[in-house]
Amino acid sequence: MSKLENLKQDLAGRFNIQNYDFSNAIGDDVLVLPKGDIVPVLKHFRDTGRFDFLMDVCGVDWPKREKRFDVVYHLFSSKDGSRLRVKVPLAEGESIESVIGVWKGADWFEREAYDMFGIRFDNHPNLRKILTHHQFVGHPLRKDYEADAQQHCDSVLPVHFDNVDGQRGDVLNENLVPLNIGPSHPAMHGTLRVMAELDGETIVRANPEIGYLHRCFEKMAETHPYNQVIPYTDRLNYCSAPANNVGYCKAVERVLNVEIPPRAQAMRVILCELSRVIDHIIAVGTGALDLGALTTFFHMFTYREKVYTLFERLCGARLTVSMTRVGGMAQDAPEGWFDEVLEFCREMNLAIDEVSRLILDNKIFVKRTMGVAPVSAQDAIAWGFTGPMLRATGVNVDLRKTKPYYGYDALDFDVPVGTNGDIYDRYLVRIEEMRQSIRIIQQVCKNVPGGDYTIRDKGIVLPEKKDVYGNIEGLMNHFMLVIKGLRPPVGEVYDATEAPNGELGFYLISDGSANPYRLKVRPPCFAVYQSFSSVVKGWQLADAIATVASMNLIAGELDR
């Protein structure tokens, strides 16, 4: 019996499923529900353990349809790695019940759907804009909102907190000290703003505000051909750009139903693991700097520059590489590049040991991090944590193991997990993950397959320059692909990779045209940062700064 049939039988015994629709779209199980059943069905999934994670909530606009919007919920099971996409059609002006009571991690995702589409979630405690400016008029991801429309927004909100009804309140407690941190403060690690009220040095409440780096990546994806979206993905987590390229291209390739060559898979694995190393270098280095360990910061960033030099040798760019292409890679590795990567791995292993001694044997660092701002495994799951933040709580979920891709199942590596979910464990996990990434890279570099670095499909990949300039067929193939564009068949997928900060998901809908109809990004930082108010409450201001660093928030993927 298939998982979908099993799911249907499970629900038939508890709900009236006559109005339910069960289907499978390109390998993804899909369930369409009436809006009145969304809370009880999702609660049933959570309570029975069938799906313990709510990974994403988003909207889709179908202006020609009677029920114009879809509210889409992406569920995940940490037990068997299975997924389910739940859809609820809504007409213009209709609302739907919030699922915050089932998963509190739905908070910011529902706010985003409201901000981008105008979809209202009943009984949401704080339904207001999250990515756009408070003066912004309209909902930018609706199909009738022009991508080049401009609005002048210049008002700055004072330090404020939200009332129970979700409205902005300016009345502050006279016995507490209001404090604004960011959005341009070095301790915030990006354009993040936190408005806090302090009792002495203790945080009584904190209100994080995001959106300062929002450039509506998803709207841009709808107005650009598939291959032209790749440079935009570089700017998500710009600290590990290749991982974003790989995640996006992998989703498009699933819609196309193509498998990239083994050599391209190996190159993507190497790039992703190098990206994980430099991303963790930034997290550990800047986190140590915030606690006064300046030597660690400079030492770690030396090796980050070495990785950037490897990227530069491969493609000419250091930070935003755009090295991946739908169907494989932009070009093959230059002669000797894999040997240079192996030499870096040798040096990096020694550097990791040295950094471990520098900070983990430092009594001040240990006292400032051990037992500070812990998150339980239960709360981490409820918030939708993934990656090092989740594994630090003791939950062993890593997509490279639970749903291997690109040959990860054939590689020998371990998944480090913590026990207490505190700042100290987050650093332990990231340091050990760097060691494991080096193990992976060494195995792949020593066994790089031969063959081509891309598929050779004239409808997907541009021909080589020698063919463009050397024969009429190559010239015409180049012309047609540039003019007509890559056109995947009609369909939709949710595809995820294990990015440095956790699950990076792309929900892609193709209508058969040259541009994505809808591209929703599930950024790892988004679920993590929404927990910040809860995590730092009762801790001191200095602990909150250390907490931000341990979360490794990247504004590019947070705001998109």
Residue 171: left (phi > 0), alpha (psi -120 to 50), or beta?
beta
Tokens representing 36 are 């009145």
Q: With 60 as the cut, is the pLDDT of residue 240 above it?
A: yes
Q: How confident is the model at residue 504 (pLDDT cuts 50, 70, 90)?
A: very high
Q: What is the pLDDT of residue 173?
A: 66
Digit-coded pLDDT (tens) for 176-226: 778 888 787 777 777 888 888 888 888 888 888 888 888 888 998 999 999
Q: How confident is the model at residue 159 (pLDDT cuts 50, 70, 90)?
A: low
Alpha helices (H) in 190-261, listed in sequence order: 217-222, 230-234, 241-256
Backbone angles phi, psi at 520, to 5 degrees: -105, 130
Q: What is the pLDDT of residue 161?
A: 66
C-beta pairs of 183-187 under 8 Å, 24+ apart in sequence: 183/209, 183/212, 187/290, 187/545, 187/548, 187/549
Averaged over 497-519, what is the pLDDT? 93
Taking each helix axis from N to C end, the angle separating 262-290 and 241-256, rounded to the nearest 10 degrees, works out to 140
Residue 267: left (phi > 0), alpha (psi -120 to 50), or beta?
alpha
Dist. CA 474–CA 314, nearest whole Å: 25
Q: Are strands 502-510 and 324-325 parallel, antiparallel or unpaired?
A: unpaired
Give the residue with greater pLDDT, 410 vs 163.
410
Give the rounded distance of the alpha carbon of 463 from its chain centre: 32
Q: With 90 as the cut, is the pLDDT of residue 343 above it?
A: yes
Q: What is the pLDDT of residue 1?
A: 59
Q: How confident is the model at residue 171 (pLDDT cuts 50, 70, 90)?
A: low
Give the rounded distance of the alpha carbon of 70 from its chain centre: 21
Rg from Cα positions in the chain: 24
Distance (Å) of CA 519 to CA 29, 90, 416, 492, 495: 19, 19, 32, 10, 11
Q: With 90 as the cut, is the pLDDT of residue 414 above it?
A: yes
Averaged over 297-302, what is the pLDDT? 85
Q: What is the pLDDT of residue 167?
A: 43
Digit-coded pLDDT (tens) for 310-332: 999 988 888 888 889 999 998 89
Averaged over 332-353, what is the pLDDT? 92
Q: What is the pLDDT of residue 431?
A: 93
Digit-coded pLDDT (tens) for 468-501: 788 888 788 888 888 888 899 999 999 999 999 9
Q: Whose CA is closest to 553, among 111, 113, 193, 206?
A: 193
Q: How confident is the model at residue 165 (pLDDT cuts 50, 70, 90)?
A: very low
Average pLDDT, the chain: 88
Tokens representing 381 are 């799951």
Q: Whose CA is closest to 381, among 49, 20, 28, 25?
A: 49
Instruction: Check if the beta carbon of residue 358 is closer than 8 Å to that of residue 296.
Output: yes
Q: Whose CA is closest to 159, among 149, 169, 144, 167?
A: 169
Share of the chain above pLDDT 70, in %: 97
Give the residue with greater pLDDT, 481 vs 70.
70
Q: Could you give the maximum distance between any two Cα atoms of the chain, in Å?
A: 79
Q: What is the pLDDT of residue 345?
A: 94
Digit-coded pLDDT (tens) for 75-131: 999 888 899 999 999 999 899 999 999 999 999 999 999 999 999 999 998 888 888
Q: DSSP E strands: which ranges in 222-334? A: 324-325, 328-329
Q: How confident is the model at residue 164 (pLDDT cuts 50, 70, 90)?
A: very low
**Amino acid in the structure at residue 207:** N
Q: What is the pLDDT of residue 168?
A: 46
Give the residue with greater pLDDT, 344 vs 8.
344
Task: Go through the domains of the chain in sequence order and give each one's CATH number.
Answer: 3-122 (3.30.460.80), 217-559 (1.10.645.10)
Return the minimum-mean-pLDDT range out of 160-174, 370-384, 409-423, 433-447.
160-174
Digit-coded pLDDT (tens) for 204-216: 888 888 888 888 8
